Amino acid sequence: MKKLPKTDVVVIGLGWAGAIIANELADEGLEVVGIERGPWRDTARDFNIGTVTDELRYVMREELMLRTRQNTCTMRNNPSQTALPMRTWGSFHPGNGTGGAGNHWAGITFRFQPEEFRLKSHLTERYGASAIPDELVLQDWGTSWEEMEPHYMQFERVAGTSGYAGNIQGEKRPGGNPFEGARSGDYPTPPLRQPYGPTLFAEAARNMGYQPFPVPSSLVSEAYTNPYGVTMGPCTFCGFCTNYGCANYSKASAITTILPALMRKENFTAYTNSEVLEVLTDSTGRQATGVTYIDSSGDKWEQPADLVIVAAFTFENVRLMLLSGIGKAYDPVTNQGTTGRNYAYQTANNVTLFFDNKNFNPFIGAGAVGMGIDEFNNDNFDHSGLGFFGGGSIRVTPIGSAPIGYRPLPPNTPKWGAKWKRALKDNYLSTMSIGCEASSYTTRTNYLSLDPNYKDPHGRPLLRITFDFAANDLKMAQYCTGKVADIAKSMNPREMIVKPMTGHWSSVPYQSSHVVGGFIMGSDPSTSSVNKHLQVWDVPNLFVVGASAFPQNPGYNPTGTVGALAFKAAHAIRHFYLKRPGEMISA
Amino acid sequence: MKKRAKTLPGVTRRQVLTWSTLGVAAGVTQVANAVSLKGAPGWTPFSANPPEQFTPSGWLFFTAEEARTVEAIVDRLIPADDLSPGGKEAGCAVFIDRQLHGFYGTFERLYMQGPFQEGTTEQGDQSPLVPQQRYRTGLAALNRYVQQTSQKDFADLTPAQQDALLEAMEAGKVHFTDFDAQSLFLEVLNNTMEGFFADPIYGGNKEMVSWKMLGFPGARYDYRDYIERHNEDLGLEPISILQWKGGDHS
């Protein structure tokens, strides 16, 4: 183990959260080192327009994702089972390399609603404590919309987010999302133009009295220069978006919006292909002293630092804390401990509509072009007597139609042979689908812990996921998908497939990479791991930032909130912590 | 903590050297090295990170007998008709051969540490066998079964007999010694579909036959002029990823 000279700040992970904080703290004049377990990624080389349109490579062979050989998770549905490793990614896609999962994300950039940050209090006030199902362990976030809003704005300005605001400083605007919290300003770029499918859906939704809006999207709609002076180009709707890197510099990621500016700062250094093994603490356990990491030649290094920021993907944030012995591991039996608790996911539902005589040209698309409605999301509708809480964002977002993965087939079609081929040919251009990305509420037995049987190449335990859908969420899925089916019926398809989430969570089919919780924020150290500044309780010079901080997951994509939390943590460090290093809540 | 905020003025010669070295070192076939990076990212023109490529001629993984069996299977999974050529002519067997020869064939990127045990459906594929082993063992088991029942190889059965056997494998109604017939079927079906619909640079989807059949325009990258032309046949001919130096499939 070789010891490197001490630095002011070490940041683990150079995806969205890590790049945001590293850049903010470099601006503060601090010496910042960023450590990334994957390779350096660069648009011109890695997402070259000549080779990026490769479905086999980027989707089937998961080129941009973390190699499971390097690190994976084990999974089981309940504590009585033996967890087994996910040998290939399925359900979700952790990223790898600079930019992280933010290189291959879809770009959908919702803000969470004001009620979300005090969800438990809000539901208790509206429906009474006894209405909340016993299985749920909902919590408030320890922060508020008012505290979050400026940081959402910061993130959107960096990402160039396109959209149409439905609520600017309390003034509602028709055509925007009527359910969004009051915004201090409009989106930085106007909404994307819409293909046929979303347009038809919006028309049908409007006819039923709903208020459709363009999905907020960090695929910029026009050339845009962000506050760091980094310029992005307009989205071309190429349809190679989710799971791919963007060759046009249109999809916001750390590599298209932050790293070009950050790398030019003399007080920032990035180490790539270097995996952090442990966060070190002093003998009291109340002060982080740096990290150890291993590089690709197998050499181990210690990087001492005054301030440690853990900003990897949800799973690795939690695993690093468990491996480093920081915080107390959660035990679902005693309900004690906080590291690993409140793990949640997203409940994915879908309705597929088969038409005759329509041509959607489904290859025209992008991860975040589309139209949505929020009438059945979160607590935007009255849940009295329904027996569940939560809801979903209902929307049509055609992501492209590369045909290894996109092969819409009506019910009872064979999977091969002459009849299969005819059915595929007849339905490929004339099928669309409406998705419902719905909430996932936390329960006592859904949690993260270290696996007792499986190890990574360095001999460290893999992270073990114990998760199944809450009965609450499955009821919600039935109800909300029924609402989607009503809209679909009004569009008069020849036939349709209605698919609410049912049964057990499966690690096999892709659902979403929206894995959250495990190192959650809150106002009570006995039920949370970090305070509202993302500062670890009892270790004030350690911050753990990411979706790992969400106490439960609403019916929205998480990245906008991950970005806002990163800016929030950086703000607290710059404006409070550096002036008076120490714990910021009770100090 | 000291204060020091200074933006680097531009790219120094040393930085360019660092970055050029990185560009060479991080090629796909080489192990990427840990690098300490500082300064403006530079890149060399035309230094794109290319897809996996293989030499052109002959079978790279399959024996002649295996190749004959796989060609017969892919021609039943994707039969030739008025919509497209069959799986064999489209190059699906060549595609599978190249994939098995490459990093996919050994699951080089995947977690393959034990203990191996069968799990629930939700826990996914837990087989200790990598694709090369699955095909080698599975195809041998298939032909042994056909020899025992019909005294022939799979490729010598009539198309109707081949379909009947494939259907039985798919439904889990037939059992081979040494290998699970259903999982062999699914393995071949998935890889055949990958080959039929992937970009032709990988050896299948010859002349973009599947894309022409569906109306998928392939590697095009700009639909700004088309996005608001709703419900129209745009008449776009497909294009493929350009040939790469050392690539085949011309």
Q: Would you give per-residue pLDDT tens digits along chain A (587 residues)? A: 899 999 999 999 999 999 999 999 999 999 999 999 999 999 988 999 889 999 999 999 999 999 999 999 999 999 999 999 999 999 999 999 999 999 999 999 999 999 999 999 999 999 999 999 999 999 999 999 999 999 999 999 999 999 999 999 999 999 999 999 999 999 999 999 999 999 999 999 999 999 999 999 999 999 999 999 999 999 999 999 999 999 999 999 999 999 999 999 999 999 999 999 999 999 999 999 999 999 988 999 999 999 999 999 999 999 999 999 999 999 999 999 999 999 999 999 999 999 999 999 999 999 999 999 999 999 999 999 999 999 999 999 999 999 999 999 999 999 999 999 999 999 999 999 999 999 999 999 999 999 999 999 999 999 999 999 999 999 999 999 999 999 999 999 999 999 999 999 999 999 999 999 999 999 999 999 999 999 999 999 999 999 999 999 999 999 999 999 999 999 999 999 999 999 998 65
Q: Which pLDDT does position B52 carry in this prediction? A: 82
Distances (CA, A) of B16 to A94, B6, B19: 31, 19, 5
Q: Does residue B229 form part of some domain?
A: no
DSSP string covering B179-242, please?
A: S-HHHHHHHHHHHHHHHHHS-GGGS-SGGGHHHHHHT--BT----TTTTT-TT----PPPB-PP
Q: Do B230 and A199 touch (CB under 8 A)?
A: yes
Confidence at residue B14, expressed as pLDDT on a 0 to 100 scale: 42
Q: Is residue B234 part of a domain?
A: no
User: Does residue B245 register a pLDDT over 60?
Assistant: no
Q: Is residue B143 part of a domain?
A: yes
Q: Hey, what are A242's tokens?
A: 């989710």
Instruction: Considering only CA atoms, give the Rg of chain A.
Output: 23
- List the one residue out of A24, A27, A39, A29 whose CA is nearest residue A7: A29
B171 domain-assigned: yes
Domain that holds residue B101: 64-110+126-213
Residue B68 lies in a domain: yes
Domain count, chain B: 1
Interface mutation target, options B54, B82, B216, B240, chain A, most CBs of A under 10 Å: B216
Place of tokens 């009255």: A382
Q: Which residues pair with A277 in a beta bridge?
A: none
Q: What is residue A329's predicted lDDT score, i.e. its pLDDT?
A: 98
The answer to whether the bond into B79 is cis (omega within 30° of 0) is no
Residues 21-80 of A with CB under 8 A from B: 26-31, 39-40, 42, 44-46, 48-57, 60-62, 67-69, 72, 75-77
Would residue B246 count as lying in a domain? Answer: no
Q: Which residues of A are catalytic?
A: 514
CA within 13 Å, CB half, B77: 29
pLDDT for B45 equals: 61
* Chain B neighbors of A39, CB-CB under 8 A: 26, 32
Average pLDDT for B102-125:
97
CA atoms within 13 A on the CB side of B247: 15
- Separation of alpha carbons A452 and A549, rounded Å: 25
Residues of chain A in contact with residue B170, where contact means CB-CB under 8 angstroms, are 415
Q: Is residue B226 part of a domain?
A: no
Q: For chain A, how many helices (H) and strands (E)?
A: 12, 22
A147 touches B: beta carbon within 8 Å: no
The residue whose two tokens read 């073990």 is: A464
| Type of residue found at A464 | R
Helices (H), A133-276: 145-159, 196-207, 254-257, 259-262
Residue B237 to chain A, least CA–CA distance (Å): 13
> For residues A262 and A22, is the Cβ–Cβ distance under 8 A?
yes
| ipTM of the complex in this document | 0.96
Residues of chain B neighbouring A508 (CB-CB closer than 8 A)? 121-122, 124
Domain for residue B119, yes or no?
A: no
Query: How many CB atoms lie under 10 A from the CB of residue A217?
Result: 31
In this prediction, residue B7 carries a pLDDT of 55
Q: Does B36 touch chain A (CB under 8 A)?
A: yes
